[in-house]
Amino acid sequence: MYKITKDGVALDPKLYTIDEVNRFFSSNEDCLVLSFAGENGWFFRIKYSCRITTGNRCIIDAYSNCTITVGNRCIIDAWDGCNITTGNGCFIDACGDSTITGGEICVVIRRYTNEVIKLVAGQTIKLHDGYGVGGYEVIEPIETIEIGNLKFNKKEIEKLLKQFKQIN
């Protein structure tokens, strides 16, 4: 079952369109949180700064600064500044300054440059920012260490320990 919220409160149904038979969702509201985990075959049209989690075989049309997490064989059309995590076999059309982590056999088409990027499974890339600017950089996974029940960035802890040793 899905959940549609804004600011932690269920969104008024008058502010969105949903068709459960044809699996279609649309809203002109920004900053929505759409929890459709395990729901397959949906089409979403969402605006700015939304967070969406859904299952397989979905299509998402999103504006800027969205966080998108999908399963396998999804098509994502997103503007700039989005954070996208996909399963296998996904197609992503995105603008600059987006961060993308894909599964196997995923492809990114870079809007405005038509650059084609074949993602390496599990690797995270960040598209270079700017209109008509191509390219991307590979983001190293953040290695963490656990102390108590808290996780810390391993590189930052090592840096702090080195500084501490220099003081003593």
| Contacts of 6 by beta carbon, 8 Å cutoff, 6+ apart | 29, 31, 32, 33
In the prediction, which pLDDT does 167 show? Answer: 78
| Contacts of 7 by beta carbon, 8 Å cutoff, 6+ apart | 31
For 68-123, how does the pLDDT look when each residue is reduced to its tens digit (9 = 90+)?
A: 999 999 999 999 999 999 999 999 999 889 999 999 999 999 888 889 999 998 88
On the question of pLDDT at 131 being above 90, the answer is no
| Contacts of 154 by beta carbon, 8 Å cutoff, 6+ apart | 142, 143, 144, 145
* Mean pLDDT, the chain, whole residue set: 91
What's the pTM value of the predicted model, to 2 decimals?
A: 0.82
On the question of pLDDT at 156 being above 80, the answer is no
